[in-house]
Amino acid sequence: ITNDKPYEALDLKLRITTFTSNGSVFAVKDDPYIEPKNIPSKGSSYFYASFSDPDKNITRYEVKILSAKGQY
């Protein structure tokens, strides 16, 4: 995740939704691991989310930023 704003992004909240090949929602994670949680101006962060999928049903995923606070 890249912050291209001129201020720090604080308390970032993400949602990762996974889908099957027919477009059905397989699983949703609202609490992925984010490091660092606060992203400095022009900085970046990474996230990690794991899903149990032994039958390999997940064919795509979607990441949405739900919220972030900004501060100069």
Q: For the beta carbon of residue 41, count every other beta carbon within 10 angstroms.
A: 14
Cis amide bond preceding 40, omega within 30? no
Instruction: Using the predicted structure, report yes or no on whether residue 72 has a pLDDT greater than 90.
Output: no
Buried residues in 5-33 as b, exposed as e (16+ CB within 10 A): eeebbeebebebebbeeeeeebbebeebe
Strands 8-19 and 25-29 come out as antiparallel
pLDDT in tens, 34-63: 998 899 999 999 999 999 999 999 999 999
Instruction: Using the predicted structure, report yes or no on whether residue 64 has a pLDDT greater than 90.
Output: yes
The pLDDT value given to residue 37: 85
